[in-house]
């Protein structure tokens, strides 16, 4: 899942981004409203975490502008205690939730997952197919009940494939969902992640395979029992 993080305080921005990346999110982290809009124009976003006080705009105006590009994108506003004005508390801001600085990173993550769950009834918290189970909250995958050791990128790839089994998912869409803009560059990163995940699935002898549709993308296929 891809999160757009807008926070002008560099140390806080990096701390949040590092935490969310470790927890399996692709994070585009920017410090200004104009950069946030530029990032939002080129790629889908699953959620926004934004600071209320930004150098070139305020967080609520930015959220309105972001929603004109991605209607209904779930948003969490981060604010200093003195930024808790009527507009925010009345939730007229359009934010789904807010969190007051200083905050605990685990709490921010929990709130982010909660707004994502509320936003998308299409998103399951757990997928099971072909002997594989993937828990989107703990990020743990198992094969016939045994732990499947995946990197966070492989786990994110498996999650995207499990969301739409049997359907071809384009490489562009997968790259948008798995890689933040700043890590784009290595053209073969997705292919390499697919190869590794394919090898691990085969090694665990599950009834799932990843088919390549040349020039288009990938498809997760459940093998029928013989
Ligand atoms: Ca700020």
Compute, in angstroms, the gap from residue 70 CA to the centroid of ligand 1.
Answer: 23
Total structural domains within the chain: 2
**In a shared domain, residues 65 and 29:** yes
Dihedral sign, Cα of residue 57, residue 63, residue 66, residue 67: negative
Res. 98 pLDDT band, cuts 50 70 90: confident
Question: What is the per-residue pLDDT for 181?
Answer: 66
Rounded to the nearest angstrom, the distance between the alpha carbon of 7 and the centre of ligand 1 is 6
26 CA → ligand 1 middle, Å: 22
Q: Which one of 118, 148, 164 terminates a domain?
A: 118
Say how many Å lie between the CA of residue 52 and the centre of ligand 1.
6
Whole-number Å distance, alpha carbon 131 to ligand 1 midpoint, is 46
Task: List, for residues 196-211, the tens digit of each pLDDT value.
Answer: 999 999 999 999 999 9
State yes or no: pLDDT of 86 exceeds 80: no
Say if residue 96 is in the same domain as residue 150: no
**Higher pLDDT among residues 117 and 161, named by residue:** 161
Query: Where does residue 205 fall: left (phi above 0), alpha (psi -120 to 50 degrees), or beta otherwise?
Result: left
pLDDT at position 90 over 70: no
Say yes or no: 96 and 179 in one domain. no
pLDDT-wise least confident of 48-62, 79-93, 125-139, 183-197 = 79-93
Q: What is the pTM of this model?
A: 0.66
CA of 115 relative to ligand 1 center, distance in Å:
22
d(CA 178, CA 60): 27
Distance, in Å, from the CA atom of 56 to the CA atom of 155, rounded to the nearest integer, reads 36
Cβ partners under 8 Å of residue 226, min gap 6: none
Residues 6 and 110 in one domain: yes
Query: Of 64, 84, 118, which closes a domain?
Result: 118
- Do 30 and 98 lie in one domain? The reply is yes
Domain end residue (candidates: 118, 153, 188): 118
Is 50 exceeded by the pLDDT of residue 172?
yes
Give me ligand 1 centre to Cα 90, in Å: 21
**CATH (domain of 137):** 1.10.10.10
**How sure is the predictor about 178, in pLDDT bands with cuts at 50, 70 and 90?**
confident
Domain CATH code at residue 105: 3.40.50.2300
Would you say 75 and 96 are in contact if contact means Cβ atoms under 8 Å apart? yes
CA dihedral 73, 79, 83, 89 (to 10 degrees): 50
Domain extent at residue 204:
126-222
Percent of the chain with pLDDT over 90: 53
Read off the pLDDT band of 72 (50, 70, 90). confident
Whether residue 78 sits in one domain with residue 13: yes
How far is 226 from 207, CA to CA, in rounded Å?
Answer: 11
pLDDT bin (cut points 50, 70, 90) of residue 123 is low
């Amino acid at each position: 899942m891809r999160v757009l993080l807008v926070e002008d305080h560099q140390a806080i921005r990096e701390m949040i981004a590092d935490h969310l990346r470790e927890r399996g999110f692709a994070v585009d982290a920017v410090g200004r409203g104009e950069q946030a809009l530029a990032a939002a124009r080129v790629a889908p976003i699953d959620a926004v975490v934004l600071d209320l006080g930004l150098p070139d705009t305020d967080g609520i105006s930015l959220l309105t502008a972001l929603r004109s590009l991605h209607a209904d994108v779930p948003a969490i506003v981060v604010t200093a205690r003195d930024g808790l004005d009527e507009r925010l508390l009345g939730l007229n801001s359009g934010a789904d939730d807010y969190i007051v600085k200083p905050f605990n990173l685990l709490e921010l993550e929990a709130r982010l997952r909660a707004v994502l769950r509320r936003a998308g009834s299409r998103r399951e918290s757990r997928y099971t197919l072909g002997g594989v189970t993937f828990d989107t909250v703990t990020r743990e995958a198992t094969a016939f009940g045994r732990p499947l050791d995946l990197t966070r990128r492989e786990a994110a790839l498996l999650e995207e494939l499990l969301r739409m089994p049997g359907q071809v998912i384009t490489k562009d869409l997968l790259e948008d969902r798995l890689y933040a803009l700043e890590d784009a560059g290595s053209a073969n990163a997705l292919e390499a992640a697919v190869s590794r995940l394919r090898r691990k699935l085969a090694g665990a002898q599950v009834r799932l395979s990843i088919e390549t549709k040349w020039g288009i993308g990938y498809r997760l296929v459940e093998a029928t029992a013989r």
